Structure 1
Amino acid sequence: MKRYLYILWLSATVFSTQIIRAQIAPLVIGDSLDLAIRVELTNSPKAKLRLEKFAAELMVLDFYNTYCGSCIAAFPKNNILQRKFGNRIRILPITYEDKKKVDGFNQKNDYMRGNELPIIIKDKTLSALLPHRGVPHLVWIWQGRIAAITSGDMLTEANVDHILSGQSVVDWPRKNDFFDYEMEESQQDTMLYSKFYSYQNGAKLNYLIDTIGNRIRAKFTNVHPLPLFTFLYGKKHPEMPFMKKKERVVLNVKDLTDFERDTTMPYSLWLQEHSFCYESTWPLGIEQLALMSNIVTDIGNRLGLEVLYTTHRARVWVIKPMQERVVPHKEEPNAVVQSVLIWKGLLELFQESFPPIILDGVDPEKKITVYPSVTVKDFVSMRQILNMNGLELVEEEREIEALVFNDK
């Protein structure tokens, strides 16, 4: 009898688990969200509440985690928006992390110290209902229904006003981390072809070069000319330096609207207007250099551009051996030792205002000590660190590699 009851209990448990799993079907735009869902919170008077307690005319579910720099940097702005719109909106940050992790991070981080937004923690249910792969991931719930799913940069005062006034958001750039755009005719077509088409809403940025049958396919989705041509020339020239510097781009074009971003609008909206998709196939045996050259020419023709990887003169910072005797610097705790190549590469990457940095007569593998007492934020502070390591920094005009865009 006990065995019989155990089997009944086990069957009921398995059956109920299957029902629960079946009920957690991903929601899409137009669906309503069950506000009876119970959530766990931090930075809130109550540790557990139902979502209905946060009901507002507009709810913005902001999925994030403490490892996402852009998510954390947005918290002060989101707090300002919450205060400005008051009870009309509710911005709810949501993370899978636990209270100890979140609270510990918030106490140490400058962006989070003044946060007034309650944070949903240890989330599983909402992430199952609204699946995603990357954060920030925003779900806009307007009058009880999902109106939009976007990237984090779309949460602005103008966009909140837009949706609160009842205006359509159907054309907003959609964030869909599971979008799989495939042109069936492309896979079945045995002929070589080239296609150029507009931005695909909901599709992810994608650079793909693969094989289909006896052909090589190049497929680029929602791409912008600058990073696309950088990618293509990088395939031709693996030694190409870091190109995301204004000194490495020359625009000999009459219309700059596709190249100069309007900073008054969210990047997602700007990208929607100035990106495109491209697909082409090529013979399987074609060499990579020839393939990349052909793709560059084909896309350039469609855009009315000639794009060259060449050299021009520009102002740069040059690291050289120092002639004077090095004055030993006293040891500091937490000093970091790394190669000068890696150090200058990180500065080029994260210091957007810095020009290209060139090594002249310096072994790229030379070890330097980076002292925490000196924060590198400009030419003077960078030179100070280099001087401590027997190196000099000078500003010069030099011939450097660049992408040159010419009108055809």
Structure 2
Amino acid sequence: MKKIILVIIANFLLCPIIWAQKQIDRSQELRIGQLLPDLPLQPALNYKQDRIDIKSLSDKVVILDFFDTYCTNCIAAMPKLQKLQDEMGAKLQVILVTWQDQKAIEKFFETSSFLKEHHVKLSTIYSANLLRSYFPHKGVPHTAWLYHNKVQAITYSDFVKAENIEALYNNGTIQLPFKSDFNEGLDENSSAFGQEQLVGSVKIFGFKNGVETTGIQIAVDSTTALQKTTFYNMDILGAYTAAWSKIKKPTFLLKEERLLWKVRDQSKYQYPKGSGGKNVWLLKNGVSYERCDRVRRSELQQAGIILNDLNGFFGLKVYWDTKEMPCLVIRKIKEGKNTIKQLESVGGLEGTGVLAFMVDYQGDFPPVVDEVNSKINIRIKDYSNLEKLNEQLIKYGLTLVEERRLIEVLVFEELK
């Protein structure tokens, strides 16, 4: 359970994660501007035939949206794709593409109440190993754009919008940010790190095309012997929290209530939910960072340097403070007949600290404060409301109480 919690914390504080996979063969990879090779008919569901001839669709903008049934972001975007298909008619062909087999995809469409509610019945190519070899990737969603049987874009799903489809259909070409899961932008010629005479440098810039979002990476360059510190395509909030997490290890979830904004425009620093896709927002507001040093510092020391660089560049002061606010406090209750002293030792939440994190993670409660700090193993099945939580906690001699507390908050303050 601890490993799972650490992954969730990393996800929240740092950046989206592309899960490690075996080495991907890129020998057949198609590049932007290349024509499609001869393709066999592809097995399909929800199409007018049980096979799709992709090259026969040359007069349409073809969107190949790679997904799998485990990807919640992929599924959440499907109603939008269906709406575009319905509205744009003969100009567009959206095709979902997955490595999963026919049986799995048939079951997916038959059992998903979400897809049925939104009337999603998009054409889907299954067992698509050949297409995956032409458009290799590590993470989904992954979107390839075709027109006139030519690869026009390989980008993020956020950019699948009517105006972009119309632009490609009318102009025959389009330029969109390049999505690569292989960090092709990190070559020696695209940064200062390959220069042998370099003494040191720091560079803060915006969205870097062709580079996947990364957390803070610190390494020594084998050629120059300089210490390199980098991150790419992060929101400013994410950059600061990633640096602070190396100095002050997080013991709680950094919920919105724990952020105190003393700035004129918060939307520059943090993606406003529901604003048309985070990657579209990052194209304008994302930040990237490259630094090389002759002096090799510890991770903790280098994190402090990053914070100083960011503060100076953005005119910010970002620091931890405390603020009183409504909280849920984990407290002990007196032992009684309902208290179980001998409980399962495995299979639950490993302590009240993990309980606090998991309740915070639900998003429906005020910040949780752990005033017990017990390592007791706790099994919780229902997080629907406070009453249900306390019904489950009573046997552990615990309760969640609504009170006000001084809690830690991260302050973003613009300097005048």
TM-score normalised over the length of structure 1:
0.81
Encode CA deviations 1:13-48: one digit per residue, 9 max, x unaligned. Answer: xxxxxxxxx997322222232474321123446433
Q: Distance in 2 between matches of 1:308 and 1:124?
A: 49
Kindly tell me: are residues 142 and 70 of structure 1, through their superposed partners in 2, closer, same or farther at Cα, counting changes over 3 Å? Answer: same
Q: Distance in 2 between matches of 1:69 and 1:224?
A: 22
Kindly tell me: are residues 137 and 246 of structure 1, through their superposed partners in 2, closer, same or farther at Cα, counting changes over 3 Å? Answer: same
Contact 1:247 1:356 in 2 (8 A): yes
Encode CA deviations 1:265-310: one digit per residue, 9 max, x unaligned. Answer: 3211111111122111234443443322122111210111111133
Contact 2:44 2:123 in 1 (8 A): yes
Of the three residues 230, 252, 266, the one matched with 2:241 is 230
Of the three residues 117, 123, 129, the one matched with 1:118 is 123
Which range moved further: 115-124 or 228-237? 115-124
Amino acid at match of 1:395: E
2:61 counterpart of 1:50: no
Kindly tell me: are residues 347 and 34 of structure 1, through their superposed partners in 2, closer, same or farther at Cα, counting changes over 3 Å? Answer: farther
Q: Residue 18 of structure 1 aligns with which residue? A: none
Encode CA deviations 1:52-105: one digit per residue, 9 max, x unaligned. Answer: 455552110011112212112222332232222222211101111111222233
Please, which runs of 5 or more residues in structure 1 have no aligned partner?
1-21, 330-335
Which range moved further: 268-277 or 101-110? 101-110
Q: Distance in 2 between matches of 1:328 and 1:167?
A: 71
Contact 1:282 1:291 in 2 (8 A): no
Deviation at 1:147, TM superposition (A): 2.4
CA RMSD of aligned residues (A): 3.0
Contact 2:44 2:124 in 1 (8 A): yes
Contact 1:326 1:389 in 2 (8 A): no
2:112 counterpart of 1:106: no
Of the three residues 193, 196, 215, the one matched with 2:201 is 193
Secondary structure of residue in 1 paired with 2:125: strand
Q: Residue 267 of structure 1 aligns with which residue? A: 278
Deviation at 1:353, TM superposition (A): 4.3
Deviation at 1:51, TM superposition (A): 1.9
2:354 counterpart of 1:342: yes
Which range moved further: 105-114 or 94-103? 105-114
Count residues in correspondence. Answer: 374
Q: Residue 400 of structure 2 aligns with which residue? A: 393
Secondary structure of residue in 1 paired with 2:266: coil
Amino acid at match of 1:96: W
Secondary structure of residue in 2 paired with 1:370: coil
Secondary structure of residue in 2 paired with 1:194: strand
Secondary structure of residue in 1 paired with 2:113: coil
Kindly tell me: are residues 145 and 223 of structure 1, through their superposed partners in 2, closer, same or farther at Cα, counting changes over 3 Å? Answer: same
Q: Distance in 2 between matches of 1:56 and 1:240?
A: 55
Where do 1:68-87 residues align within 5 Å? 68-87=71-90
Deviation at 1:116, TM superposition (A): 1.4
Amino acid at match of 1:261: Y
Deviation at 1:325, TM superposition (A): 4.8
Contact 1:223 1:277 in 2 (8 A): yes
Kindly tell me: are residues 265 and 118 of structure 1, through their superposed partners in 2, closer, same or farther at Cα, counting changes over 3 Å? Answer: closer
Q: Residue 9 of structure 1 aligns with which residue? A: none
Where do 1:97-176 residues align within 5 Å? 97-113=100-116, 114-166=119-171, 169-170=174-175, 172-176=176-180
Q: Distance in 2 between matches of 1:404 and 1:264?
A: 24
Q: Residue 332 of structure 1 aligns with which residue? A: none
Q: Pick the structure with greater CA Rg.
A: 1
The percentage of counterpart residues that share the same residue type is 24
2:223 counterpart of 1:211: no
Q: Distance in 2 between matches of 1:233 and 1:203?
A: 23
Please, which runs of 5 or more residues in structure 2 have no aligned partner?
1-24, 341-346
